[in-house]
Amino acid sequence: MKILVIKFRHIGDVLLSSVLAKNLKEIYLGSTVDYLVNAESIDMLTLNPNIDNVYGYDRKKAKKLCRLFNSLEVDDTKVKKEVLKDLFQTEETPYIEPNFWCDYGYNIKFGKKFYANHNLTILDVNTVTFGDNVMCGPNVQIYTAGHPLDATERISGLEFGKPIVIGDNAWIGGGAIILPNITIGNNVVIAAGSVVTKDIPDNVVVGGNPAKIIKKL
């Protein structure tokens, strides 16, 4: 298991939360514990033997780029592409209708000919990988982030991130929600309003909450 602890508070709060790493290692044997913090907090955590990786990022950058993208005029096509390249740190430019929101941007990897209708939200505290020719309807939500069920752990600020992989030629219907740690196969159709809680094999249509196979293609 890979555990990501996200702390964007003051340096003192980050230092106090770092004692959690030892407990997490003991509870989840064999796990890796990573920290994502503001850049000024990196040095104090790098020598902690219970923390495997420390990442620094200014989360505000992604929020600012999303706001800029959403504010652009319809005809500002060239500017939109440049904003998305900066946000995703990639040369592969997806076609995304505003509004669009994400946490970091650089954790999202697109295949060729990606299209998303309005109001796509991706919480990318872990990686989200799209294959080629993926289509998303309006109001699709993709979450790699989650929180512990235990209230004490949850209110301490602990958050985990698990990856999502979406295969080639997938069509994700409007209002669908994809939860963490999901792999979706090739040529899959996800019906509007579905909540995907488990992996989906190739060549099927799924629907419902939780999403179940309703047709093989």
- Among all residues, which ones are annotated catalytic? 147
DSSP string, 134-185: -EE-TT-EEE-EE--SSHHHHHTT--EE--EEE-TT-EE-TT-EE-SSEEE-
Q: How far apart are the first and last CA of the chain?
A: 33
Give me the residue label for tokens 């219907």.
Answer: 173
Q: Report whether 55 contacts 34 (CB < 8 A).
A: yes
Closest CA to 140 of 179, 185, 87: 179
Burial class (CB in 10 A: 0-12, 13-18, 19+), 217: exposed
Tokens of 109: 């990897």
Under 8 Å CB-to-CB from 37, ≥6 apart: which residues?
6, 7, 8, 14, 45, 54, 55, 56
- Contact indicator for 64, 83 with CB cutoff of 8 Å: no
Rounded to whole angstroms, how far apart are CA atoms 153 and 8? 17
